[in-house]
Amino acid sequence: MAVPEFLFTVLLGFAAGFTSGALGVGGGVITTPAIRMLLLRSSDIALGTPLPITFPSAFVGALNYWKAGKIRPRVVLYCSLFGLAGTACGSLLTSVVDTRYLMILTSLVLFYLAQRTFAAAAGKGLERRGGVPRTGDRHPLWKLALIGFCAGFFSGLLGLGGGIILVPSFFFLLELEVKECLGNSLAVISFLAVPGSIIHSLLGHVDWLIALAMVIGVMPGSYTGSFFTLRARNRRVLLLFATLLTTIGIIFLVREVRGLL
């Protein structure tokens, strides 16, 4: 990799880290299409390389939310445990499944989640929403297990980090406050990235030079992004998250449909 490309990759990492910390996603929503379309690597590399980048990005962002009191240990624990199983299953399936069709389906899911999120941002009383009281933080185990497994599965299969599943699930199913959704999502994602990284590495789907360059950028990016969001209004955060979902959905849909033609 030439020096200009390396520096460009570091900048891409910063953008991915900022998005991760600001919106509670693993960064794969930026790094996967960037590696595929801007760095011109294969789809396997684009799906596998973001996972080892995700851990430092999500971990740094989660620390900021932890300091702000936005992390719920029970939610993180059970979503992570069941998410690990989902990540392993999803990662193993990448060697036998045509991920192009799955990305088209994922884009449609993203459009649906974006519409729900836009509607929530337009609702009344959003800034006063405080989520479930911590004294009653006893969400059903099956719900935490389902959320964790699904997030892990799509993280391992599509390299998306799981945040596009976790954040809407925490908001709509667990009714957590907006910034709690983002913080807990990052905490879970940091755990989910580990087995997927190992499996994709063994499958030869990780370009470690790209990963190194992006890690240099994602850590300061994630810190900056989470710092920004913790001081933003909930409505603005939801609007930004819905816009992100829509944008990534369009990119995935157009790219993969064109590839099938």
Number of CB atoms found within 10 A of residue 6's CB: 14
- Residues 248, 31, 23, 4: what is their CA dihedral angle, to the nearest 10 degrees? -120
Of 6, 29, 14, the C-alpha closest to 60 is 14
Global pTM reads 0.83
140-157 confidence digits (pLDDT tens): 999 999 999 998 887 777
Residues 6+ apart with CB under 8 A from 5: 39
Instruction: Write down the pLDDT at residue 183.
Output: 94
CB 129 within 8 A of CB 69: no
CB 94 within 8 A of CB 200: yes
CB 186 within 8 A of CB 196: no
Alpha-carbon span 91 to 188, nearest angstrom: 17
Residue 135 clears pLDDT 50, i.e. is over it: no
Alpha-carbon span 173 to 143, nearest angstrom: 8
235-254 confidence digits (pLDDT tens): 888 898 888 888 878 877 88
Instruction: Write down the pLDDT at residue 99.
Output: 66
74-86 confidence digits (pLDDT tens): 999 999 999 988 8
Number of CB atoms found within 10 A of residue 59's CB: 17
CB 169 within 8 A of CB 147: yes
45-64 confidence digits (pLDDT tens): 887 888 889 889 899 999 99
Domain limits, the chain: 3-260
